[in-house]
Amino acid sequence: MIKPHGSDSLNPLFIYDSKAHEALAHEAESLPSLTLNSAAAANAVMLGAGYFNPLTGYMNLADALSVAQNMKTTDGLFWPVPVLNLTNNIEAIKDAKRIALRDPNVEGHPIMAVMDVENIEGVSDDELTMMAEKIFGTADGDHPGVSTFMSLGKYVVSGPIQVLSFSYFQADFPDTFRTAVEIRNEIVEHGWKKIVAFQTRNPMHLAHEELCHMAMDRLGCDGLVIHMLLGQLKPGDIPAPVRDAAIRKMVELYFPPNSVMVTGYGFDMLYAGPREAVLHAVFRQNMGATHFIIGRDHAGVGDFYGAFDAQSIFHNEVPEGALEIEIFEADHTAWSNKLNKVVMMREAPDHSKEDFVLLSGTKVREMLGQGKAPPKEFSRPEVAQILIDYYRSQAS
């Protein structure tokens, strides 16, 4: 099986031993506490679940600046995006060496982790701006990821953590949320050797489905992990339970039995384009995938990135041997009226735009909202019906 990033074995930070968990939770109640922002809470979930192996906690300012600038920590570990605990309020923790971290996304702000505080450092506007420019390729406040990042706080609280909770993800998505540990175990149970991962924050239309079939066939994979983002999205995105139902219906009807795992992970979308694509590859390697599909404008938003920037970064900026996982580079896929099937557009050079069935997201949402299914060349009817029911429920 593929090795995790940066170590021989996966080292999740969640405390699985029940006695140790109980003792830590009891201790945490008496510690000074910090309520995290959603981004830091998502980082804690990913650290706990093993997706951010081999990190042991939140980065200090030097590591964050180094990762932003050079995609490596000060001690040389390849890493694409700073993993930070930023806050504006350090009053309750400024002299503490050990603190409880509280969940901002669950009522009552229960404790989700315990942290050994190594540093509390102020971060300047110039440093935040530099990091934003490197991570997102821009410091434009109209970029939703930049806007969020610049508002998270002016203090970097760093140090190792022990995780006690996966926030709301296990309770709200019991059939879908999986840790990197659990996915690795399920891959072993299936006996899969070559596994391709597909990232989505949307329901999967016919073109997405066919892209997964193409990747499996061309790579000779015996398993596909559809890995859904379950964390904070932007307004207008389809809620996770609806996406989950739509994807499961597609897998049930259109993939061979025991060839697909439908799973999800608890992270907030960064919309960081190329850098986020590399981060996605890191945690797919950590969960056991040997290959990862990256298509047009992966993790992008608006017009901030070129169509294939998220692929070219692996050739131009990721050092040779930094990752073991391999990238399956995909173009936009669409139904060809000439060939009567879904194709990658770059593989149909004799086609004009009119030869493809292309619908904008706005047009599709409009059709679904009116109770109309998109054409069968765009969406499976069973999937479309689930989405129609959702849009109807929103209108009533």
Active site residues: 201-202
Secondary structure (DSSP) of 246-275? HHHHHHHHHS-TTSEEEEEE-------HHH
Instruction: Report the candidate in 332, 329, 49 with the shortest Cα–Cα distance to residue 184.
Output: 49
Instruction: Report the candidate in 334, 80, 371 with the shortest Cα–Cα distance to residue 208.
Output: 334
Could you tell me the two tokens for 247? 């994807």
> Quick check: 60 and 158 in contact, CB under 8 A?
yes
State the helix-helix crossing angle for 240-254 and 381-395, rounded to 10 degrees: 160
Residue 158: which H helix or E strand, with range? strand 155-163
SS3 state of residue 66 = helix
Measured between alpha carbons, how far apart are the two ends of the chain, in Å? 49
Instruction: Report the candidate in 264, 270, 297, 271 with the shortest Cα–Cα distance to residue 197.
Output: 264
Could you tell me the two tokens for 102? 């509280």
